[in-house]
Amino acid sequence: MSTTRRTDEGHGRLGSTLSGVAVALGCVLFLGGFVWGAFVYQPYTVPTGSMTPTIGAGDRVLAERVDGDDVRRGDVVVFRQQAWGDLPMVKRVVGVGGDRIACCTDGRLTVNGKQIEEPYLPKGMGAAATGIPATTVPEGHLFLLGDERSGSLDSTAHLEDAAKGSVPRSAVKARVDAVAWPLDGMLDRATGFDDLPGGGTSEPGPLRLILASVVVGAALVLGGAAYGPIAKRARRGGRERGGVGGSGGAGGSGGPGGAGGTAEAAGVG
């Protein structure tokens, strides 16, 4: 009995140590994930439906803070340009410096003469509401369109500007990776630009790793915190079962069917 108790106590100390380590590691992962996310990402609320169906009016998005020089064709970006109202806006990059943009050929947008597949457009909608005359994007600039082309105030509304509807890369504040609310998740990658020189859409940021860190951290904290009560209840149950078994064995030894019964039988014989 003494050996069993010492074994249980040893297991209890080891379990407590491991649960403490799990809680500590979980706190690091959980809080670290939030801090990492706050440093890398910025939430934005999209006020209009110009990016429907990719992003709806009132949706809340998570946008990775990036330098404008890192933006590529197909990226959905948050930018701020004084000539466009000096407010944060969300649009899709369809052209970079040196690209020749036009629409439409067979109902599709063309970039440097290549027809672009745009599965993110609303079903049944063309690549442009009124067409886009052939326009060359100035170096260091981006040509931006909304996914809902018929009602989007985008580069097509600024073609008469000095920059031919484009905005400087320095106007970009962030690149949208996911719709956080409603929980639509990561944006689909725009693959229609992949065959152009320079490649297509950027790879998403570390949002999946950040979410994994938060989820794993929460699981470790909850699991480690729950270990103590569960282990204590298990040990108490084990002691109670052991006590009942020991009492029964002693009674069987000294009761009527035990030693006394054996002595009576011997006397008769």
91: three-class secondary structure by DSSP: strand
* H/E element, 192: none
* H/E element, 255: none
Residue given tokens 């009995």 in the structure block: 1
189: Cα within 13 Å, side-chain hemisphere = 11
* H/E element, 49: none
**Residues labelled catalytic:** 50, 91
* The token pair that represents 36 in the structure block: 């990492």
Give the Cα separation of 214 and 95 in Å (integer).
Answer: 36
Q: Which among 82, 50, 42 is positioned nearest to 174, based on CA atoms?
A: 42
Q: Which among 120, 183, 174 is positioned nearest to 149, based on CA atoms?
A: 120
Give CA 10 to chain center in angstroms: 41
Answer whether 70's CB lies under 8 Å from 29's CB. no
Q: Which among 213, 200, 3, 182 is positioned nearest to 99, based on CA atoms?
A: 200
Task: Report the b/e string of 122-136 with b at 16+ CB within 10 A.
Answer: eeebbbbeeebeebb
Going 68 to 71 to 74 to 75, the CA torsion angle's sign is negative
